[in-house]
Homo-oligomer: A and B are copies of this chain.
């Protein structure tokens, strides 16, 4: 009987592993709680109304079901019975494995302040993205309606916490929405007067990039009307704004829209797995793996992608980005097939971050690019890796329309269940520090 391989999670890591195991002499079960693969790098464009959820998601069955040795199961894995070599599903069913690949990714993390989650929307799922879209667009609508100048200002103040690639991309897109997309759409709101603040506790934006690219990104953000507040530490987020600590003391920003791009932590299944295997969790709720991406002492369990805490030859932790997950997925699949004996090595082909219209930064080894060429590289690479020809074509068209008309095709305020602060209390006194 062929080996039973269970893959948890259909993100980049799980999907690349499954693709490498397709048609081979192994029995693969891929388990995901959603029925689609999500192209996370473009999620911020859903949050900002440029793309539609279906453009960045692709049904897992449509990708994998033609391979007869792969079974897809829509289910939530809640625990791993390491000793019994079984995955426990949410309905109590157990899925036995000979080898296990855990690639359940990361979740939003608020540095232990879970209550902030209600006010500072993160960006890990499609639901996060449509909620963020709802909040951003609704803020302009609420500002249009309010007659209180203070509230008007608070609705037009957007705070993005975290100036890594996601935070920079969100802040840049907010700048475009305010300056271009919504221009002339309102009677009492001048969208271009929106305040967009980008907060980070480090001393520059895009920390993982080289300093010259951080400087270029900062300049591009300023041109879009984004103001960065660096070396600050957020100490409170509530329904009327953000409090932070800077060198000059504690400050308060009165803002109705706070977006969270500051922290992620390993998914909850990582903690369950570590407990079941009797190993401690690494930094950020991630699971430390050995040089083969395996759980120490458990060569039959691989942990890959954002959930894994892996270090390169120099001892530096690998970043939580899509290429690492993809390469790990292919690597562990080759190991399972007995075709790989060397330790995992990440081949860094480069990093990109988009800031706005015709503006991005790219770091390909010693080559640093900023501006239109970096932006074109970004467009091309993201289109290339997007799953599904239909998605590629439609994303290409939406980008083209956005570029030439400044409009955003998917700026809908949807989701009745979205917990949104009511504007009934507009004009009421709000706490300020």
Chain A residues within 8 Å of B, Cβ to Cβ: 34-36, 52-55, 57, 59, 61-62, 65-66, 71-75, 90-91, 93, 125-127, 130, 137-138, 141, 144-145, 182, 184-187, 388, 390-391, 393-394, 397-398, 401, 405, 407, 409-417, 423-424, 426
Question: Do B398 and A397 have beta carbons less than 8 Å apart?
Answer: no
C-alpha gap A393/B405 in the complex (Å): 15
Contact partner of A66 (CB less than 8 A), chosen from B137, B184, B394, B416, is B184
Among A61, A66, A187, A393, find the residue whose CB has the most chain B CB atoms closer than 10 A.
A61
Please give the distance in Å from A63's CB to the nearest CB on chain B. 10
Please give the distance in Å from A127's CB to the nearest CB on chain B. 5
Among A59, A90, A91, A186, find the residue whose CB has the most chain B CB atoms closer than 10 A.
A59
Question: Do B410 and A91 have beta carbons less than 8 Å apart?
Answer: no
Contact partner of A390 (CB less than 8 A), chosen from B53, B409, B417, is B409
Question: Do A397 and B393 have beta carbons less than 8 Å apart?
Answer: yes
13 A-B pairs whose Cβ atoms sit less than 8 Å apart in the complex: A35-B141, A52-B53, A53-B410, A57-B412, A62-B411, A73-B145, A75-B145, A127-B414, A130-B414, A390-B407, A394-B398, A394-B409, A417-B417
Note all chain B residues with C-beta closer than 8 A to A137.
35
Note all chain B residues with C-beta closer than 8 A to A412.
34-36, 53-54, 57, 59, 126
Please give the distance in Å from A15's CB to the nearest CB on chain B. 16
Question: Do B185 and A54 have beta carbons less than 8 Å apart?
Answer: no
Shortest Cβ distance from A75 into B: residue: B145
Please give the distance in Å from A135's CB to the nearest CB on chain B. 13
Note all chain B residues with C-beta closer than 8 A to A407.
62, 390
Question: Do A394 and B397 have beta carbons less than 8 Å apart?
Answer: yes
Note all chain B residues with C-beta closer than 8 A to A390.
397-398, 401, 405, 407, 409
Note all chain B residues with C-beta closer than 8 A to A127.
414-417
User: A-B pairs with the 9 shortest C-beta distances?
Assistant: A54-B410, A417-B417, A52-B54, A74-B141, A61-B185, A52-B52, A65-B185, A35-B413, A390-B401
Please give the distance in Å from A413's CB to the nearest CB on chain B. 5
Please give the distance in Å from A255's CB to the nearest CB on chain B. 20
Shortest Cβ distance from A425 into B: residue: B91
Note all chain B residues with C-beta closer than 8 A to A413.
34-36, 74
Question: Do A186 and B61 have beta carbons less than 8 Å apart?
Answer: yes
Among A125, A390, A407, A415, find the residue whose CB has the most chain B CB atoms closer than 10 A.
A390
Note all chain B residues with C-beta closer than 8 A to A417.
127, 415, 417
Note all chain B residues with C-beta closer than 8 A to A145.
73-75, 91, 93
C-alpha gap A72/B52 in the complex (Å): 24
Question: Do A414 and B126 have beta carbons less than 8 Å apart?
Answer: yes
